[in-house]
Chains A and B, each alone.
Chain A
């Protein structure tokens, strides 16, 4: 791909060339400059793609549910792209990406594109570069893009700002009504799925969820969150989930809903990009200078506290950039 110009590469992605798209996502993961240049060409402000998020704790059945959703959308004649994020090891940097395995039944379907991404230290349930990869899949022309987060706990809610319809996958072992009432991830979903609904505790869990959801003030846009029991392994309840997705999609497409979503996404993406860029510029400046190590040793030796250290590094950087270095 490196022999291609930015324009040629972007064009190949737009023509749904899987290899060009796959190579571009790798370049994004490696933060290569050419990736950003191509992404500039692929940018569409308010696209027609349906963007879904699937989140929930590890082992709740997110990947299985996504596989079922793929089947359901394919039956309706839609093409589907999936980003499946799994965690990177903070110790070795390695990752075991096991989401694709649950979706391999779609392996040969040309209308389905699945990409596993390792989180690479990015917190918030997504991978660094997930938003860019979503853009690549939209540019490929897929009708539906699904982002599956890493197994989340209570607070990884980034996905909710980046997708139109967010599906939270829970199980009957999710805990009691107190858990259901908590802030964070319980608040982000437009659809709550109670998967593994063939396990004991289903009725109690549904009741806890419905009560907790009803205690909340109605969402600003008037959408009330349905609770849908499913058994993803046997495809029970999937049509109901798809029905609610379609209903929510119709709901946000009223008036200027899509524009509002685009604004919210741009806001989130902008803040992430700026933070990344600041980090990159600062670390590029201090890399190889031994400054980082020097400060760390000073902190450990008690010669400086971490707050002052950061202030000093920042002021050094600001002075440098003012001089145009």
Chain B
């Protein structure tokens, strides 16, 4: 018994050491970037490289506000990303539910087609999409940015996977009680999938926030640009200087990181409370 306890303890220590090591590997680059963004250019580009410098400065950050309408970019990005996120949660869970729980003709072939659309690299379809949005007169509008993205094969596939793993007894009981399909969906099945829907929302939000090519293609006015597109333009013009690029990289990541630290409560809780424990 004693030996067993000791073994367990060693196992736990090894486990935590391993987790700690990964934490360091994950955090070190961020640590370095944050410190370097407060350095003068000559201290960033030195050999041998050092983590800390003698003098620190805010000049890299001050220059962002001079060159970029960063708050407009943030506003546009929030509208775009949140809009797409909400639409995806609604439409993907509806479609995923239909595939997981309903029977209809051509189900397998339809699902296969949806899977295939996920394999289409965006670079292949981007020119025709541009032409369609142009034809609809929606270039440089929020609706034009959001509409083509309100559903995704990835989200449908993900929601289908979660709905499939829920036990069938639940909805059968509800059906016997006389609930309509739509009520079964949003009163019983959807609440059970809250962790999955929160996950999908956050994933979609991040995808939009960090997307570069798509918003760059559909917006040309400066006041409609999203963060990643606007930042990419700036960094593209100033490749030689590392300091401002790092500062901008941080500012463009910061809102999402802050949001993540708030949403993370849902996230971690959601992961822990997946409705059906037994």
The answer to whether A binds B is no
